[in-house]
Amino acid sequence: MDKVEELIAREEIRDVLHRYCKGIDRKDWPLVRSCFADDHVHNHGDYSGPPDEFVGFASEILKKVPATHHSISNVHFTFNDEGTSVSTEANFVAYHYVQEGTPEFDPVPTNGKATDWIVAGRYCDKLEKRDGKWIIVRREAFHDWERYDEANQTS
């Protein structure tokens, strides 16, 4: 892989990572699913398994979260010698607004109050180029820190 091919690959891979965030934030589950290969293995928090089940897991949690914002930064790339697979590590920060009246919310206690839940961590992915496109074949998501606070009321 020459330098130009590598630069193009980096942008295509960043696009996959950004597409995932857009899909999660818009609750566009087909878009989220499009980021993962059929034989993908996903490990994220309490979830471990295939991509279709991950989409169900994430959509169930986010039913009680009317607004999220996922951002990715500091993407590090390690390509294999042939340039057909890559390991990435991307930092993320995910903001979640849990609406008032949600007393039973498994990830964080809300006591029925509107709650801001912030998670910072890393997506450690393996991607492969299949049929001319990069796709995630394995994800390990690590939550490095989390916090939650009662949300400020805005007018």
Query: How far apart are alpha carbons 60 and 100 in whole angstroms?
Result: 17
Three-state SS at 19: helix
pLDDT of residue 110: 87
Q: How far apart are the first and last CA of the chain?
A: 54
Give the pLDDT confidence score for residue 155 in this predicted structure. Answer: 45
> What's the CATH number for 3-150?
3.10.450.50
pLDDT per residue as tens, the chain (155 positions) = 899 999 999 999 999 999 999 999 999 999 999 999 999 999 987 889 999 999 999 998 888 899 999 999 999 999 998 889 999 999 999 999 998 888 777 788 888 889 999 999 999 999 999 999 999 999 999 999 999 999 986 64
Question: Cα dihedral sign for 53, 109, 101, 71?
Answer: negative
User: CA–CA separation, 70 vs 144, rounded Å?
Assistant: 15
pTM: 0.91
The whole-angstrom distance between residue 1's C-alpha and the CA centroid of its chain comes to 28
Q: Residue 19 contacts by C-beta under 8 Å, 6 or more apart in sequence?
A: 31, 34, 35
Residue type at 21? C
